[in-house]
Amino acid sequence: MRRWLWLGTMVATVAVAGGCAPRKAAGDQALDPGSVFTADVPLVVESRFYGDLVIFVNRGGLRTRLGMANGNGKRTFMVPKQNFEIGTPIAFEAEGLSALTGGRVSVRSPAVVVRPGQRLVWTLETSLDRSFLAVQ
């Protein structure tokens, strides 16, 4: 009799524990190891613009300065991995002074979604409105 009582108690305990365990929602997916940014993302800025430009990263309205890109030069910036999330668009901005007009010039890249392992190449043309961003 004791054995049946003990067995019944164990079965009830397992049933209650299984019912209280958290369940995975239908839309939840486990994180794919390739979907987590474990390293900073390189941004290569190829500037054909004649003046120096300050480069910013813009994520969700938060703007962070990356550094200075010299005119007619090439520079690689390492964008901190904290700026990236899977499926979240990110954009870049460049600001400087125009030698022709003496006024401020700026350009904003289109927003792109970056995956781990990719790199970005932003080509800034002499006319900044013709600049383009490539995800490789």
Domain boundaries, the chain: 39-135
Higher pLDDT, 98 or 114: 114
pLDDT band at 101 (very low <50, low <70, confident <90, very high): confident
Q: 51 and 96 in contact (C-beta within 8 Å)?
A: yes
Fold topology of 39-135: Immunoglobulin-like (2.60.40)
Q: 45 and 77 in contact (C-beta within 8 Å)?
A: yes
Higher pLDDT, 98 or 41: 41
Higher pLDDT, 101 or 73: 73
Q: 114 and 120 in contact (C-beta within 8 Å)?
A: yes
Q: 46 and 124 in contact (C-beta within 8 Å)?
A: yes
Tokens of 24: 């995975």
Query: Which position has the token pair 């460049």?
Result: 94
Give pLDDT tens digits for 14-27. 555 555 555 555 55
Quote the pTM value.
0.73
Q: How far apart are the first and last CA of the chain?
A: 71
Q: How far is the C-alpha of 113 from the C-alpha of 124, rounded, in Å?
A: 20
Q: How far is the C-alpha of 38 from the C-alpha of 74, rounded, in Å?
A: 25
Percent of the chain with pLDDT over 70: 74
With the C-alpha atoms ordered 38, 108, 77, 64, is the resulting torsion angle positive or negative? negative
Q: How far is the C-alpha of 92 from the C-alpha of 67, rounded, in Å?
A: 12
